[in-house]
Structure formats: structure tokens, C-alpha cells
Amino acid sequence: MQPTVIIGDVHGCLDELRQLWSLLQIKKDTRIVFLGDLIDRGPDPIGVLEFVEEQITRYPHLNLLMGNHELKAITQYYRGENRGTGLSERHIHLLETALPYLSFEGGKFLAVHGGLYPAFWRQYPDLPPIATRDLWDARLTQEIERFVFCRYVNTLGYPIPLGKQSPDDAFWADIYPGNFGTVFFGHQTFFNDPVRFPHAIALDQGCAFGGALTAARIDEQAQISFVTVPARKTYSQYIHYGNAIADYARHQLEIPHLSFV
């Protein structure tokens, strides 16, 4: 398979991204996926965007996924509410190229910012090809936009607003049956290690919150390993909105995990 690198939520942590990038030893033919939330919280979101812009000119297989912070930035820009963000029209156009998800290797793997939810996978047995998204109707577009925000899902199978989940509501990755392949996702912070669910792997380790920036590597034999760079400092205060960290921090991955100080 095509060698692949999947990078978790950067959130403006440019120094950590540069260090991680140097350790990944990316080649011209490497598929690169940023899981979204490049911006906000950290010290240099504009620097992160300009770094990514530069890499796009060098690596033809680089893909950006839409995160909730990108969606927020785009919305604010067109409402004229972006004063003080430093985001230019060029930056917004870059964010607008982000994909809602990326399915690769014949559906064996999927990358998405937030997650999937039962009401979607019950209704749609197959993910629509990204190349056809200009033809998606309003309903399908709305259903897929929910991927960006998905964490917990209610008993009807729909995502729940942040902080509104009850003990009866499941974290999406714990019940995902694997029908769209192994999913790599960000959005939900896990501070210890990348967390393996039955058919998904979480890569947001809260770099902006003083955790780490992590990438998954998939080699030509489809073997998965991780490279992690600890945050240089705590840039933003973490607010705990659920029990996912307590529930899943105990999971340990039986996958090579390289951590660099």
C-alpha cells in the first residue's frame, strides 16, 4: 500500500509540528493526512497554516480534513467576525479545500476529524465518493457535516452537543462496527497514548493543552506505528466535557510507539 502519515489535531502548535515533521521522514510518494483543527488554542495558528501551505507545494498527496475549528473560522470570516484572528482570504481558501473525510486503500482505512454515528451508517451502507460531493443533496451534506462534531451519540444514533451526553449515551468509536474500515480520528482529547477502539484509533493527544502531538504511520505492509512529540508547554486550559478520557485512557495499544522528548 501507499505509505501514509496521519497527523492529529495541531491547534496552532507550530514548533511541535516542525519537530514531528522532521521525525516522520516523509517521502514524495507518502500520503499525508491532517485530521483537522490546525488552528486556534496554540501559539501560532497562522504559522501552522503557512507551514502546511508550503508542504502542499512539495508533497502531491497531502490532504486536509475539515475540523470544527476550521468550520468556525470560515463562518466567522464570511460574517465579518474574524477581526484579530490574523486569517487572510488566502488562509480561508486553504481551509475551504479541506475534505469531510478521506477513505483510502479500497476502504480499508478512513480518516475523519470527529467520528461517525449509527444513524448514518444504518442509512448509508457505503460512503459516497468524495469526488461526487458537488452532487450531494442537502440532506446528505448535512448528515456528513455532523462527522466533524461527533463524539457521543444518543440512543437514536445521532451526535450529541458537547457536554450534553448522559450515562446512556455511547462514545461513537466504542460502538462503531467497522463497516467503513479502521477509522483514524481526532477531536476528542486523550492525554496518555493513542487509544485503540474495536475499529478506530484516536490521535488527538491535546498538544495545545500540554499533552503531545501524535502521528500514525502506516507502512507498505499496512503495519501501524506512532510518533509522538510532547508539547513544549501548556498553551490552553483543558475543559473536561465527558468521561471519554476516564473510560478509555486505560486502553493500551499493542503497536510500536516512538516518543521523542
Homologous superfamily (CATH) of 4-259 is Metallo-dependent phosphatases (3.60.21.10)
At 245 the pLDDT is 41
Grid cell at residue 179: 463497516
Which stretch of 55-59, 82-86, 183-187, 195-199 has the lowest confidence by average pLDDT? 82-86
At 193 the pLDDT is 85
Question: How do residues 76-120 score in pLDDT, each as one tens digit?
Answer: 999 998 777 889 999 999 999 999 999 999 999 999 999 999 999
Mean pLDDT of the chain: 91
Mean pLDDT across the stretch 221-242? Answer: 89
Give the CA distances from residue 40 to residues 64, 70, 71, in Å, rounded to whole numbers and listed in that order.
16, 9, 12
Mean pLDDT across the stretch 63-79? Answer: 96
Q: What is the largest CA-CA distance in the chain?
A: 48
Grid cell at residue 53: 501551505
How does 133-157 read in b/e, with b if 16+ C-beta sit within 10 Å? Answer: eeeeeeebeebbebbbbbbbbbeeb
Residue 61 scores a pLDDT above 80 = yes
Contact 173, 184 (CB under 8 A): no
The three-state secondary structure class of 150 is coil
Sketch the domain layout of the chain as residue ranges. Answer: 4-259
- Within 10 Å of residue 117's Cβ, how many Cβ atoms? 26
Please tell me the distance from the alpha carbon of residue 113 to that of residue 149, in angstroms, as a whole number. Answer: 8
Which stretch of 5-14, 86-95, 219-228, 235-244 has the lowest confidence by average pLDDT? 235-244
> Residues near 6 by Cβ (< 8 Å), separated by ≥ 6?
33, 35, 111, 184, 203, 215, 216, 217, 218
At 244 the pLDDT is 47
Q: Could you tell me which of 13, 8, 19, 6 has the C-alpha nearest to residue 209?
A: 13
- Within 10 Å of residue 238's Cβ, how many Cβ atoms? 15
**Global pTM value:** 0.92
Percent over 70 (pLDDT), the chain: 91
Contact 77, 92 (CB under 8 A): yes
Mean pLDDT across the stretch 7-22? Answer: 99
Question: In degrees, to the nearest 5, what angle opens at C-alpha 19 toward C-alphas 89 and 9?
Answer: 55
